Homo-oligomer: A and B are copies of this chain.
Amino acid sequence: MTPTRYDAPTMGITERKERQKAEMRDLILEAALRIIRDEGFAALTMRKIAEAIEYSPATIYLHFASRDDIALALVADGFAKLVAHMAPALHEEDLLARVEAIGRCYLDFAQREPETYRLIFMEDERFAAPIMLALKEADGNAGDTAFGFLLDTVQELIDRGIYRPLNAKAVAALLWSSLHGIAALKLSCSQYPFEGSILEPGALVMDILTRGLLA
């Protein structure tokens, strides 16, 4: 309760502690993502994370309440990464080029961050569902989420008579699922007959679909 001359330095200590806490959080999440990539989601255990970051398992519980809590954080961070990865497509003025860019950015994310993509769209939806729902409900103009952005673009293409007069939501879902099919098969089916980058089959499917969608 007695006033001290060290008020200012104390503020600096608080900030340093917060910074260190955030660093530890990132350290844990990065290690978790590495384990998922190498051994799959089922192999993600607190002990393995602890070993990877060279701390005891108990320490992790100072930053995350449970294993599920870590998975939830990975999904939330992953979603932010996906939205950030779509940024280049946002600035594309030409509508047809924008749809093409959306597809390319989406598949590029899937193959650059396969663990994250798996976690969001292919794994136990127990973690992804609440986060997708929260993002959707927070999205007033329906354009901040990745799907909302695609939907708006498709709607405009239809309104301008460039696409045939189909249901915009159905068309957006169709584009999404076609891209997801490529990403998902590449990530979990060794018999998928494309060897290299999925951008190649991605461009093909976008081309064929566009031909079928044009008025």
Q: A204-B170, A208-B213, A212-B209 are in contact. Are A182 and B188 (CB under 8 A)?
A: no
Q: A42-B42, A122-B122, A185-B121 are in contact. Are A192 and B212 (CB under 8 A)?
A: no
A182–B173 Cα distance when bound, in Å, is: 9
Contact B133 A191 (CB under 8 A): yes
Is A10's beta carbon under 8 Å from chain B?
no
Among A23-31, A56-64, A66-74, A123-131, the one that faces the other chain is A123-131
As a 0/1 sequence over residues 120 to 163 of chain A, the CB contacts with chain B under 8 angstroms (1 = contact) are: 01111100110011001000000000010000000000000000
Residues in chain B near residue A208, CB distance under 8 A: 174, 209, 212-213
Is A211's beta carbon under 8 Å from chain B?
yes
Contact B205 A125 (CB under 8 A): no
Copies in the complex: 2
Contact B192 A185 (CB under 8 A): no
Q: A172's closest neighbor in chain B, by CB?
A: B193
Question: A122: which of B176, B188, B204 is its contact (CB, 8 Å)?
Answer: B188
Residues in chain B near residue A177, CB distance under 8 A: 178, 181-182, 184-185, 192, 201, 205
Instruction: Identify the interface centre among A133, A178, A201: most chain B CB within 10 Å of its CB.
Output: A178
As a 0/1 sequence over residues 191 to 206 of chain A, the CB contacts with chain B under 8 angstroms (1 = contact) are: 1111000000100110
Q: A186's closest neighbor in chain B, by CB?
A: B177
Q: A177-B178, A180-B184, A184-B184 are in contact. List 14 more A-B contacts (CB 8 A).
A: A121-B185, A122-B122, A133-B191, A170-B204, A173-B194, A174-B201, A174-B204, A177-B182, A178-B178, A180-B181, A207-B212, A208-B209, A209-B212, A212-B213
Q: Show the binding face of A for B, using Cβ within 8 Å.
A: 40, 42, 121-125, 128-129, 132-133, 136, 147, 169-170, 172-174, 176-182, 184-185, 188-194, 201, 204-205, 207-213
Can you report 27 residue pairs joining A to B where beta carbons are below 8 Å apart?
Answer: A42-B42, A121-B188, A122-B184, A122-B188, A123-B188, A129-B190, A132-B190, A132-B191, A147-B191, A170-B194, A170-B201, A173-B192, A173-B194, A173-B201, A177-B178, A177-B182, A177-B184, A177-B185, A177-B192, A177-B205, A178-B205, A181-B182, A181-B184, A207-B212, A208-B212, A210-B212, A212-B212
